Structure 1
Amino acid sequence: MIFSKPSFNMYIITGGPGSGKSTLINALTERGIQCMPEAGRAIIQDQQAIGGPALPWVDPGSFAELMLSWDIRSYREGLKLQGPVIFDRGIPDVMGYLRLNSLPVPPHIEKATQVFRYHPQIFIAPPWQEIFAQDNERKQSFEEAIATYHAMVKVYSGLNYEICYLPLSSVEERVEFIMQRIISSS
């Protein structure tokens, strides 16, 4: 595989649902870090609002295509920003989602993971039973959250990203953990 040059100011936070990613990203935003929102949750909200079929439990293939489009747009927006930019999931998550659902990964999605590269080190939030909760958009069980986590580890490792595991600790400690790493690489 030939990879494009990574964008060293663009960092991904990924992991299974309910592992504290969104709370962490909100806290990073409060600290002045620019962040790009997660595609999946917004797509689910939009599709529910319009009665659309591109939902993970209705048409997972269409849902994946919308996530890819959203993530490429976010990537392009991130390129315009100065300083570190945090992404709530990234383009490789689409590949992980498809594999997790035993769906084929189309060549254009595979290519997107090669063309649109992020910082070589990504952050992953491990499954955390104590904070896991379901809601209107997060319908997965904790077991599915664990499977998602493992799928993301496999995808990002396979794409030659270095995985940095987030500690199971307070939001502030997680913020400091990330801040130390993104400031030191700037």
Structure 2
Amino acid sequence: MSKRYIITGAPGTGKSSLLLQLQKEGIHCFSELSRKVIQHQQKLKGNKTPWGDILGFAELIYQKTIEELKSPVNEISFVDRGLADMTAYLTSQSYFIPGYLQHFPYKKYYKNTVFLLPPWKEIYVNDPQRPQTFKEAMQIHEHLIKTYKNLSFNIETLPKTTLTKRKEIILSLI
């Protein structure tokens, strides 16, 4: 089974745009599950969102991630956020970490190198699925670093530069 590379970062750091660039190179990429779940919850007028019922949201993300992890992947595949991002979001809001996240076999499904996009105020925008302030995004960023370090992942922080440069850096490192 091939493992996936994780592209992570706080909201509004350019993850989805970067994944689109990688897809243009013919690389298999999984889009962000969080955004899909939030959009579905908003359509249903549900509250299982990071700013509503975050524990219910975490459970939905876990279930959707398990489904996605059953999908076959190419030797090189990327995901827009790894499951460990949910741990970072929960700790950023001082919630307990459910056992299914604490004991998940991350290294079985994900490559050891995680690509981290830092907060970048100049490109940060809010939208209906991203209501966090830039200050909150900065806090999430710190929790992402701590979470991935605690899980013994190698974090490669990408510079604030063009999508093309970011893509080239990733391709040079894999």
- TM-score normalised by structure 1 residue count: 0.89
Equivalent of 2:101 in 97, 109, 132: 109
CA distance in 2, matches of 1:34, 1:96: 25
Conserved? CA contact 1:120–1:161, under 8 Å: yes
Q: Can you list the C-alpha shifts for 1:143-177, whole angstroms capped at 9, x where unaligned? A: 11111111000000000000000111000000101
1:132 aligns with 2:124: yes
Residues 94 and 116 (structure 1), Cα distance of their counterparts in 2 relative to 1, 3 Å cut? farther
Q: Can you list the C-alpha shifts for 1:14-42, whole angstroms capped at 9, x where unaligned? A: 01001111110111111111001111111
How much has 1:76 moved relative to structure 2? 2.2
1:10 aligns with 2:12: no
Conserved? CA contact 2:19–2:78, under 8 Å: yes
Residue number in structure 1 paired with 2:78: 86
Residue number in structure 2 paired with 1:161: 153
Which runs of no fewer than 5 residues in structure 2 stay unpaired?
A: none
Equivalent of 1:148 in 117, 120, 140: 140
Which runs of no fewer than 5 residues in structure 1 stay unpaired?
A: 1-6
Residue number in structure 2 paired with 1:39: 33
Conserved? CA contact 1:75–1:116, under 8 Å: no
1:122 aligns with 2:127: no
Q: Can you list the C-alpha shifts for 1:40-81, whole angstroms capped at 9, x where unaligned? A: 11101001111222122221110111111122222221xx12
Equivalent of 1:64 in 58, 82, 89: 58
CA distance in 2, matches of 1:112, 1:73: 14
Question: What is the percentage of aligned positions where both structures have the same residue?
Answer: 35
- TM-score normalised by structure 2 residue count: 0.95
Residue number in structure 2 paired with 1:52: 46
How much has 1:82 moved relative to structure 2? 2.0
CA distance in 2, matches of 1:20, 1:91: 18
Residues 115 and 21 (structure 1), Cα distance of their counterparts in 2 relative to 1, 3 Å cut? closer
Give the 3-state SS of the residue equivalent to 1:120 in structure 2. strand
How much has 1:8 moved relative to structure 2? 5.8
How much has 1:85 moved relative to structure 2? 0.5
Q: Which amino acid aligns with 2:146?
A: K
Give the 3-state SS of the residue equivalent to 1:74 in structure 2. helix
Equivalent of 2:23 in 17, 26, 29: 29
CA distance in 2, matches of 1:21, 1:11: 13
CA distance in 1, matches of 2:96, 2:105: 15
Runs of 4+ that moved beyond 3 A: 113-117
CA distance in 2, matches of 1:82, 1:16: 26
Residue number in structure 2 paired with 1:20: 14
Query: Which deviates more, 158-167 or 68-77?
Result: 68-77
1:98 aligns with 2:99: no
